[in-house]
Amino acid sequence: MKRIAKTSLIVLLAALFSTQIFAQKRGNDDRRGDRNRPDRDRIQLLMNIPAEVRSDIHVSVFDEYLSLTDAQKKELIAVDQTFNTKMSEVRDEKVNRRKKGGMMKDLRDEHQQAIHKVLTKDQYSVYLEKREDIRYDIRQRLMAYSKEEG
């Protein structure tokens, strides 16, 4: 009798725990598109900033870290304008998400190469050392601008 009671208890506990293990979470949080919603909203805010403002912020942060010459500032603005034009064309393309992502990555790589050409060797080495700080400052200024305008 004790053996049947123990076995029944074990089966009952196993059934109870297995329902918890295999239960699926329901609701909006589990949908694939909503997992990164805050990040998507932030990106959307940044995309609504005019290209000229983005470029000005980009150049000003680069100037703080790398002490750009006036000629380099003009070249960097031209590089940014070209990049922004191409990026908006890619965004408007009617292709699948994976291909569009690859196209955008290629454009970002091309943009980085163009920036490399504008900078001197010393500036580029400083850029590589402080790349994360530079990107962070640019992002923070863009967010501050979007909050001011929004």
Q: What is the pLDDT of residues 6-46, one digit of tens each?
A: 777 676 666 666 655 555 555 444 445 555 455 666 666 66
How far apart are alpha carbons 3 and 29 in whole angstroms? 44
Sequence ranges of the domains in the chain: 36-149
Those residues with Cβ within 8 angstroms of residue 65's Cβ, 6 or more apart along the chain or in another chain = 126, 127, 130, 133, 134
What confidence score (pLDDT) does residue 15 get?
64
The H helix count followed by the E strand count for the chain is: 7, 0
**Tokens for 68?**
């750009």
Residue-wise pLDDT for 73-123, tens only, equals 999 999 999 998 888 888 888 888 888 889 889 999 999 999 999 999 999
Question: How far, CA to CA in Å, does 92 sit from each of 14, 18, 97, 118?
Answer: 54, 48, 12, 28
Terminal-residue alpha carbon distance, the chain = 73
**Residue pair 53/149 in contact by the 8 Å Cβ criterion:** no
How far apart are alpha carbons 27 and 17 in whole angstroms? 22
Place of tokens 């590589």: 128
What confidence score (pLDDT) does residue 148 get?
83
Question: How far, CA to CA in Å, does 141 sit from each of 30, 60, 125?
Answer: 32, 10, 23
Q: Provide the whole-model pTM.
A: 0.67
